[in-house]
Amino acid sequence: MTSVQDLIVPHLRALNTYQGVDPMEVLAEQAGIAPEDVIRLNGNENPYGPSPRVVEALGKFQHYNHYPDPGQRRLREALSDYLEVDPGRIVCGNGSDELIDMLLRMFVGPGDNVLLPTPTFGMYAFNTEVVGGDPVSVPRDDNFEIDLEAVRIAVTPKTKAVFLASPNNPSGNVATEAQIQGLLETGVLVVVDEAYYEFCGESVLPMVEDYPNLVVLRTFSKWAGLAGLRLGLGVMDPAISQTMMSMKPPYNVTLPAEVGLLASLEDRPTLMSRVQAIVQERDRMMSLLQQIPGVDPWPSRANFILCGLPEGRGKEIFEGLCRRGIFLRYFGNARLQDYIRISVGLPEETDAVIAALADLVGA
C-alpha cells in the first residue's frame, strides 16, 4: 500500500513555508516577560488599531448567520468610488495575500516561472511554490532598485509573471513609472503590490487602463489597521477580474470584513491623520538610527525601515533584542544577513528600540 504522503502532489511535500508573525503571548513566553511588555515591530502592523467607527459598527453587527455576497457588490461599489476605477475591474480578497494566491493559480502552473526582484515580500515565492511554479530571483542593485536589464534577460517562454512591491518590502523604496513600464513591455503579467501606498502617495493605478497585463494590489491591513479582518483588493483588466471572480471561493471576504471596509472608508480623515503620524514617527526614527554608529538605515516611503547592522553581527543583535522583549523582523538570507527591519510603532516603542539597539551595537 502506498503511504498517504505519496498521494500529496510532489511539489507540496517539502514546501518552504512562509514565516508569519507570532502572536504576542507566544513572544512574551519566549522572552519570559508579560505580554503587555512585548514590543512587536515585526509585522508592519498599525499601532493605532482600526478606526473607532469600525469597532462601533462591528459592535452593532448581528448578521453572522448570513453568507457574504459572492459578487462583492457593495464592496466593489464603495471601492470604485474610493479608487475612481470601474467596479468591474476590482476583486476583493481575504487579505491581498489571497489575491497573490489567486493570480498565481490563474497564470502559473508546474514548469512555469515567476520573476522576483529580490529582496522582496516572501509571499510571492511561497505562493509560486504552492502552485508548482519556480520563483526566480532577479537581485535588485546595491540601492535595492529593480535591475530592469537583468529582468528582461531573465524572461523566457516559461516566464508568466513579475511580482514586485512598491514601496518594496523590506527596502522601503518606490519603483519608478519608467521601471514598471519597462517590465510591462516584456509582455508578461506584472503585479505591483501597493500595500504601503497610503504612506507614500505614489501609485501606478492609472496605468491599469492602458496595460492589460498590469495588476495593482492594495490592502486595508496597514493604513486602515485591519490586518486581523483580512481585506485586500486588486485592480486589473476586466478579462482577468472576470475569470478571478469565477474561480474564487464564493464567500472569500467575510461580512465583518465588509463592515470594516465600509466604516474605514467613511473615516478616512482619522485614518489618514494616523498615517501622517506614522510617517512623522518614521522620519524621527530614521534620524535617531542615523546617530547610532555602525547602524545604516535605508530611506523608506513605507511604515518600516530596513537597517544595516555591523558586519557579521545581524543575527546576534536580533537575538539580543528578542531577549529584551523587542521583536523585529530578521530575514537571515545571504543578502540580508546583517539587516533588520523595524516597523514604525508608537514613539515610546521607537525610543525603546533605539536605546536597546545602541546598547547592543556598542557592546
Ligand X SMILES: *Cc1c(COP(=O)(O)O)cnc(C)c1O
Q: Which residues bind ligand X (CB under 6 A)?
A: 44, 95-97, 121, 165, 169, 193, 195, 219, 221, 227, 232
Question: Between residues 129 and 288, which has the closer beta carbon with respect to ligand X?
Answer: 129
Distances 326 to 120, 175, 225, 330, 361 between C-alpha atoms, Å: 23, 31, 21, 12, 15
How far from 114 is each of 160, 211, 276, CA to CA, in Å? Answer: 6, 19, 35
To the nearest whole angstrom, how small is the minimum distance from the Cβ of residue 82 to ligand X?
A: 16
Asked if residues 135 and 120 have their Cβ atoms less than 8 Å apart, the reply is no
Cα distances from 158 to residues 102, 109, 139, 337, in angstroms, run 19, 10, 19, 31
Q: How far is the CB of 99 from ligand X (least distance, A)?
A: 8
User: What is the CB neighbour count within 10 angstroms for residue 53?
Assistant: 17
The residue among 72 and 360 lying less far from ligand X, judged by its C-beta, is: 72
Q: Which residue is nearest to ligand X (CB)?
A: 95
**Which CB sits closer to ligand X, 113 or 221?**
221
Nearer Cβ to ligand X (219/300): 219
Closer residue to ligand X in complex, CB, 226/309: 226
Least distance from ligand X to the Cβ atom of residue 126, Å: 12
- Nearest CA to 27 out of 321, 346, 322 is that of 322
Minimum distance between the CB of residue 193 and ligand X, rounded to whole angstroms?
Answer: 5
* Distance of closest approach, residue 43 Cβ to ligand X, in angstroms: 7
User: Residue 107 or residue 163: which is nearer to ligand X going by CB?
Assistant: 163
Contact yes or no for 173/143 (Cβ under 8 A): yes
Quote the least distance from Cβ 306 to ligand X, whole Å. 12
Nearer to ligand X, 173 or 356 (CB): 173
Grid coordinates belonging to 174: 518606490
Cβ-based neighbour number of residue 185 at 10 Å = 13
Distance CA 141, CA 118 (A): 9
Q: How far apart are CA 212 and CA 242, in angstroms?
A: 13
CB of residue 195 to ligand X, shortest distance in Å: 4
